[in-house]
Amino acid sequence: MPLRAKVASSVSRTAAALSRAAGRGDGSVIGGWIGLKIDPDLLAHLSAGRAIALVSGTNGKTTTTRLTTAAVGVLGRVATNSFGANMPTGHTSALAKAGSTPYAVLEVDEHYLAQVLEATEPHVVALLNLSRDQLDRAKEVAMMAQLWRAALVRHPRIRVVANADDPMVVWAACPPADPAQGHVPPHVTWFSAGQRWHDDSWVCPECGSTIQRSGEQWWCTGCPLRRPEPNWTVEDDGVLDPTGAWHKIQLQLPGKVNLGNAATALAVAAEFGVRPVDAVSRLGTVTSVAGRYAQVDRDGRNIRLLLAKNPASWLEAFDMADVAPTLLSINARDPDGLDTSWLFDVDFSPLTGRQVLITGDRAYDLAVRLEVNGVPFQHVRSFDEAVRAVPPGRLEVIANYTAFQDIRAELDRVN
Amino acid sequence: MSTESLRIVWIYPDLLSTYGDRGNALILARRAQLRGMPVEVLEVRSDQRLPATADIYLIGGGEDGPQALGAQRLIADGGLHRAVAQGSVVFGVCAGYQLLGTSFFAKGTRCAGLELLDLSSDRGPTRAVGELAGEVDPRLGIPHLSGFENHGGRTHLGPGVSPLARVTTGVGNDGATEGAWRGKLLGTYSHGPALARNPDLADLLLRWATGIHQLPPLDDTWADRLRSERRTAVAAAPRP
Ligand SMILES: [Zn+2]
């Protein structure tokens, strides 16, 4: 590593430690920021010599990164950005903090994937899904897919692990090969993780025709784009690998969506030579991920935290939540996006029959939405009031980003 | 109103459904049902023919590509023009509002609109994103408009339409006026969705569709709280 990068890396670690000591979060952003100021190529220098996997998509990237880190851990030490700091400053800080490791698994914000591909030259990139998120500022879904696609064209040697169930991801993962320019199609391994949300992929990104669906299959009515045959699939409570071997998966994380994330993690780890049979037991060691799925006991209530940031992830949260009293909390601060109209893209009727409480800055938006769905609810002004309002036993909490962080803070920043 | 039930058509949800647009159909259906009206909501996808005999047609927001495609298909289909000629109600939001006019911009080119409203849209210098509020045309007899906008367009009204509202917060058409209406056609940049945040606007569309001038009142406690909470928030933090 050049001297400037060494200094930057060491300063980055020190800054992160100082930031943590001062009680300003986990320091992963500020440390990386200072490091990058001293050496703008620091992320590239820190990446050199490591075999790296990048994990990106609208939903599930934090959990999939954690599961992949556990799986690749079979081979040796793995650096990762475990605090959800998923932009280049967070990657820089995570790699600097980890020191030299043979492997790294990094969660990447979907808007930064092209930039991080350039800097880290990963061995493999996992593409999970693309759907609407933060309507007031996110790029159009089709435009995100186009950016991913353009980035992959520039890096044809990177191996791709991609979701066969999401038409936008499939299109992004298969850029046209141009032999005249020396372009070869990328090597893609397909997984099937299921997709409950279809509302952002009715129109073909290639030709603009309608996309038809039947069961798990989908195909464009105007061009050859269609669902590729997946190499890794979820079957019952396990994962089928490309050799046809089935592996039982025992996760501590709820829901079918996390079985899909486990399949993805095994597929990514396999790109490094990890055999699924050696990795499955490690997946079961992951309990909660930056507070997601964490369980806390308070006043006889077992409180479980589920994060849901956009329509697709709300549908998944309803699927994984137990039939139990449920607190919904909605904010619309900067990190959440200021626009709450997505509430009407989500069908809240799965909550019918459960005791539903609502809170958060934008509880009234939620109230109007639940009324239309015919779901009775009770408005509470605080988390404590919610806990007191439900009987002893399980309380499911489903919240969007800053609402989730507020509740996590109430519970002493549970991890 | 068609004979047995109030028929609401949601036009092209596969193309034009970005900002919780389903909410407008849900709100209209619920407010009609609470008054005992039988309701039928039809979702007509862009590869289907548009029935010309419904009472209310809803068109939502969308990205540039789907907006241009939606306009082409609606012009080719012709069903909406026939419905308007027969006195149906049309409510357009954002991209769906723009395409009711004579022309709009999508993907850098001028596209032909449906020419149902005397207005045209082009690109503004900046994207208008944030809370949108305004005082509604007093002839419509409804309280202030509350919503959220997110669009890059600017809309210029011709003499054949009236503005829906005078802007008090946000941009709307051009920073001064917001939305437009003529007869039983009404368009707005406000989502939220618009009818969830403006129940009186939903009732206006129902009155137009049914010809019933006095609809029984409903309990709008939560919508009223939402409207006043938004009004307070907007006053506390005006947009630059
Ligand atoms: Zn196609």
pLDDT score at A310 = 86
CB A92 within 8 A of CB A36: yes
Residue A129: per-residue pLDDT: 93
**Is the pLDDT score of A17 beyond 70?**
no
Top pLDDT among A186 and B7 is at B7
Q: Inter-chain contact B17–A132, Cβ cutoff 8 Å?
A: no
Distance B163 CA to ligand 1 centre (A): 40
pLDDT band at A11 (very low <50, low <70, confident <90, very high): low
Q: Is A152 a residue whose pLDDT tops 80?
A: yes
**Mean pLDDT to the nearest integer, A156-178:** 89
Other CB atoms within 10 Å distance of the CB of residue B33: 12
Q: At what angle do helices A28-38 and A88-98 cross, to 10 degrees?
A: 90
Is the per-residue pLDDT at A8 higher than 80? Answer: no
pTM of the model: 0.85
Query: B121 or A157, which is more confident?
Result: B121
| Chain B contact set for A340 (CB, 8 A) | 148, 192
Tokens linked to A181: 């320019």
A336 contacts in chain B (CB < 8 Å): none
Which of B139, B176, B140, B134 has its CA nearest to residue B155? B176
- Whole-number percent of chain A with pLDDT over 90: 67
| Nearest Cβ partner for B20 among A142, A338, A343 | A343
Mean pLDDT of chain A: 89
A308 close to A316: Cβ distance less than 8 angstroms:
yes
Which among B27, B63, B192 has the least Cβ separation from residue A372?
Answer: B27
pLDDT confidence bin for A183, thresholds 50/70/90: low
pLDDT exceeds cutoff 70 at A270: yes
Does residue A147 register a pLDDT over 80?
yes
pLDDT tens digit string along A313-353? 898 899 889 999 999 999 999 989 899 999 999 999 999 99
Greater model confidence, B101 or A6: B101
Looking at per-residue pLDDT, the higher value among A108 and A194 belongs to: A108
Kindly report, residue by residue over B170-227, the tens digit of the pLDDT.
Answer: 999 999 999 999 999 999 999 989 999 999 999 999 999 999 999 999 999 999 999 9
The pLDDT score that the predictor gives to residue A197 is 76
For the cut 60, the answer to whether the pLDDT of residue B1 exceeds it is no
In chain B, which residues have their Cβ closer than 8 Å to the Cβ of A337?
Answer: none
Q: Is A397 helix (H, G, I), strand (E, B) or coil?
A: strand
Pairing assessment for the beta strands A51-56 and A103-108 based on DSSP bridges: parallel
| Spatial separation of the C-alpha atoms in residues B11 and A415, rounded to whole Å | 45
Q: Is A241 helix (H, G, I), strand (E, B) or coil?
A: coil
Torsion of CA A210, A212, A218, A222, to 10 degrees: -40
B130: chain A residues, CB-CB within 8 Å: 136, 338
Sign, Cα dihedral of A132, A137, A143, A146: negative
CA distance A211 to chain B (A): 10
Across A66-70, A177-181, A199-203, the highest mean pLDDT is recorded for A66-70
Query: Encoding tokens for residue A404?
Result: 């989730």
The end-to-end CA distance of chain A, in Å, is 34
**Closest to A69 (Cα-Cα) out of A94, A93, A48, A46:** A94
B26: confidence class by pLDDT, cuts 50, 70, 90: very high
CA of A308 to the centre of ligand 1 (A): 31
Query: How would you classify the pairing of strands B145-157 and A78-80?
Result: unpaired
Task: Give the phi and the psi of residue B143 in degrees, each rounded to 5.
Answer: -70, -175
Q: Where does residue A251 rank: exposed (0-12), middle (13-18), buried (19+ CB within 10 A)?
A: buried
User: For residue A4, is pLDDT > 90?
Assistant: no
The CA distance from A82 to A74, in Å, is 18
Mean pLDDT score, B40-66: 93
Q: Give per-residue pLDDT as tens, B137-155.
A: 999 999 999 999 999 999 9
> Which range among A51-55, B105-109, B118-122 shows the weakest confidence by mean pLDDT?
B105-109
**What distances in angstroms separate CA A57 from CA A161, A189, A233, A333, A365, one per listed residue?**
12, 16, 18, 22, 27
Rounded distance from Cα A176 to ligand 1 centre (Å): 14
Interface residues of chain B, partner chain A, Cβ below 8 Å: 14-15, 17-23, 26-27, 30, 45-47, 63-66, 69, 129-130, 148, 150, 191-193, 196-197, 222-223, 225-226, 229
Q: For the residues of B112-124, what is the DSSP string, one character each?
A: E---SSSEEEEEE
Distance CA A228, CA A188 (A): 10
As a whole number of angstroms, the distance between CA B95 and CA A237 comes to 44
CA distance B162 to chain A (A): 26
> For residue A178, is pLDDT > 70?
no
pLDDT digits (tens, 9 = 90+) for B61-114: 988 888 999 999 999 999 999 999 999 999 999 999 999 999 999 988 999 999
> What's the pLDDT at A12?
66
* Token pair recorded at residue A395: 């309380």
Residue pointed to by tokens 């400053």: A89
Strands of the A103-108 sheet, one edge to the other: A78-80, A103-108, A51-56, A124-127, A159-163, A188-192, A232-235, A238-240, A246-248
- Tell me, what's the pLDDT at A411? 86
> Residue B133: pLDDT above 80?
yes
Higher pLDDT, B237 or A15: B237
What is the strand order of the sheet A378-379 is part of?
Answer: A295-298, A301-307, A393-399, A326-329, A356-359, A378-379
Instruction: For an interface test with A, give the residue of B11, B12, B22, B67 to mutate (most A CBs within 10 A).
Output: B22
Q: What pLDDT is stored for residue B65 in this prediction? A: 83
SS (H, E, C) B151-174: EEEEEEECCCCEEEEEEEECCCCC
Residue A382 has pLDDT above 90, yes or no: yes
Whole-number Å distance between alpha carbons of A53 and A238: 23
Q: Percent helix, strand and coil across chain B, each rounded to 5? A: 30, 35, 35
Q: Helices A61-72 and A276-283 meet at what angle, rounded to 10? A: 120
The set of catalytic residues of B is: 94, 191
**Which residues in chain B are closer than 8 Å to A208, comparing Cβ atoms?**
65, 69
Which chain A residues have any C-beta within 8 angstroms of a chain B C-beta? 132, 135-137, 140-142, 199, 202-203, 208, 210, 221, 338-345, 364-365, 367-369, 371-372
C-alpha dihedral, B126 to B129 to B130 to B133, nearest 10°:
70
- Is position A223 annotated in a ligand binding site? yes
Query: Average pLDDT in the B112-119 region?
Result: 98
pLDDT at A184: 66
Contact A192, A203 (CB under 8 A): no
Q: How far is CA B48 from the centre of its chain?
A: 22
Would you say residue A186 has pLDDT above 90? no
**Contact call for residues A204 and A227 (beta carbons, < 8 A):** no
Q: Which residue has the higher pLDDT, A35 or A287?
A: A287
Dihedral (CA of A307, A312, A315, A316) sign:
negative
* Residue A18 confidence (pLDDT) above 60: no
Alpha carbon of A226 to ligand 1 centroid (Å): 8
**pLDDT (tens digit per residue) in A37-50:** 667 788 999 999 99
Confidence at residue A199, expressed as pLDDT on a 0 to 100 scale: 76
Question: Residue B193: is the preceding peptide bond cis (ω within 30°)?
Answer: yes
Cα of first residue to Cα of last residue in chain B, in angstroms, is 44
Which of A194 and A284 is assigned the larger pLDDT? Answer: A284
Tell me the CB-side half-sphere exposure of residue B151, using CA atoms within 13 A: 37
Asked if A267 contacts A163 with a C-beta cutoff of 8 angstroms, the reply is: no
| A9/A35 Cα distance (integer angstroms) | 6
The encoded tokens of residue B27 equal 């709100």
pLDDT at A210: 85
Residue appearing with tokens 């997709």: A195
Residue B211: left if φ>0, alpha if ψ -120 to 50, beta else—which one? left
Over residues A82-103, the mean pLDDT reads: 90
Catalytic residue selected from A339, A345, A347, A412: A339
Least confident piece of the model among A172-176, A199-203, A274-278, A309-313: A199-203
On whether the CB atoms of residues A12 and A35 are closer than 8 A, the answer is yes
Answer yes or no: is B127 a known binding residue. yes
Beta-bridge partners for B103: B112, B120
- Exposure string for A336-351, b = 16+ CB within 10 A, e = fewer: bbbbbbbbbbbebebb
Output phi, psi for B7, to 5 deg.
-105, 120
Nearest CB to A339; choose among B17, B63, B148: B148
**Average pLDDT score over residue span A176-202:** 77
- Average pLDDT score over residue span A165-170: 94
CA A394 to chain CA centroid, nearest Å: 25
